[in-house]
Copies of this chain bind each other. A is one copy, B any other.
């Protein structure tokens, strides 16, 4: 019975959003999971440290943006992925922790699930298992998609792809306005570019009237097909911004 859910869970998107994990649980399962789990709040910039992860390796995001950040020896930083409400992270594999640190990019509310209860639920509740499987599968999908973007796309194309990623992942129905849930600096780290380049690319898209940057965290898509073509790597369109310059190459520069 929904009305019997623990009060804390009533306010948690993992429960009140019908497609999320906790919404699939029976009253008894939810009670048991709740009893052995911990809902915590994390401030922006804060990192989940390793020894706590050791004891609480299953994380379910209620709200906010958590990211996986990786530090190279000489200080270069990369954000490999970010996680939003509804995502379930399984950090039990030791190797997963070598990927980097989990850091809050905004205030985050998440639930540390008891691994034992989680596992038990997976074994007895097919609908919950499906949700968990889909979450993991979705993470793999996004990581692959992101890797494709990083491998061969140019800066402008990566940014356009990113806008679509945000659009796909945002819950709201508004498809024209897209929320950029992270700051420019973090966005740059996610896309493997410099903040300066991110800024230049936004300006470029805006000058071509493809998007409108309202404030730093919301953009409006003005020309969806154009944006899509850029995201898909259609270089012909990208060149159109430029004045179709004379095709002559001046060869008189040598002495």
- Chain A residues within 8 Å of B, Cβ to Cβ: 49-50, 68, 70-74, 76-81, 90, 93, 95-96, 99-101, 122-123, 126, 129, 133-134, 136-141, 143-148, 150-153, 189-192, 229, 232-236, 250, 252-253
Contact = CB atoms under 8 A, between A and B. Distances in A.
Contact of A147 (B50, B80, B253): B80
A50 B253 contact: yes
Nearest to A101: B253
A93 to B, nearest CB: 6
24 contacts: A50-B253, A68-B144, A72-B153, A74-B233, A74-B235, A74-B236, A78-B147, A78-B148, A80-B144, A80-B148, A95-B141, A96-B137, A96-B141, A99-B144, A99-B145, A133-B136, A136-B140, A140-B143, A147-B147, A147-B150, A150-B151, A151-B190, A151-B192, A152-B189
A90 B99 CA distance: 23
Contacts of A74: 233-236
A115 to B, nearest CB: 13
Nearest to A76: B152
B192 A232 contact: no
Contact of A233 (B49, B72, B139): B72
Contacts of A100: 148
Contact of A232 (B72, B139, B146, B252): B72
Nearest to A68: B144
Contact of A136 (B77, B136, B145, B190): B136
Contacts of A68: 144
A141 B72 contact: no
B134 A137 contact: no
Contacts of A93: 134, 137-138, 141
A204 to B, nearest CB: 18
A168 to B, nearest CB: 9
A10 to B, nearest CB: 29
B151 A78 contact: yes
A148 B234 contact: no
